[in-house]
Structure 1
């Protein structure tokens, strides 16, 4: 059984439910002692933008996206943000929440090629 887990998120403002659920699952995986990586691509890159993530709150029973992301990072989860997707949207590394790392698709491929299960939102 793999000791890692991957959640890919491609939505944020257009479908905040998917962004929220992605981080709920990522926190569950991290809490289950799986080394967990979230890969944000397409519109999902906005999940790591400080000002944008603060706007997402789906309400009970879910915590606000900002709280879910902070919990995930504090627990040791890794967040990689697609560099080309950031460039397309004029997002810089300075715009990202502390703990999020710009990365290309190679980081995702490397993580998955080691046998990590993955889910996508």
Structure 2
């Protein structure tokens, strides 16, 4: 890999346009040989659950489920904010491929072990 890249996503079903664009960018980064993490926090943590993104399809883009599946298949990872996840009483046994519930220290470790550009949605 030639570096790291972080996509910070705070929106889920409350703003499917932002969620979709975030995964478009994440797919572009992973296709550019970057080690990519999408950090899901606040409402975006809901996207970590199987089936939640299935019906999301913004005009002009691939369906969100497809974007997320392709991202994980290409080696992209999703860090799911542990406190946000717990606050919403989500199911750790129903995580989408590539997702892991993590604490803030894991995100900090990813971002500080080498240069890590980021974008936020």
Under TM normalisation by the shorter chain, which class is it? over 0.9
Stretches of structure 1 lacking an aligned partner (at least 5 in a row): none
Stretches of structure 2 lacking an aligned partner (at least 5 in a row): none
3-state SS in 2 of match to 1:52: coil
Query: TM (normalized to structure 1)?
Result: 0.93
Q: How does 1:73-112 map to 2 (within 5 A)?
A: 73-112=72-111
- Aligned structure 1 segments of 4 or more residues deviating by more than 6 angstroms: none
* Aligned-residue offset at 1:18: 0.6
User: How many pairs were matched up?
Assistant: 119
CA contact (8 A) 2:69 2:97 kept: no
Query: TM (normalized to structure 2)?
Result: 0.93
Q: How does 1:1-121 map to 2 (within 5 A)?
A: 3-59=3-59, 61-114=60-113, 115-121=115-121
3-state SS in 1 of match to 2:79: strand
Work out the CA distance in 1 between the residues paired with 2:71 and 2:53.
14
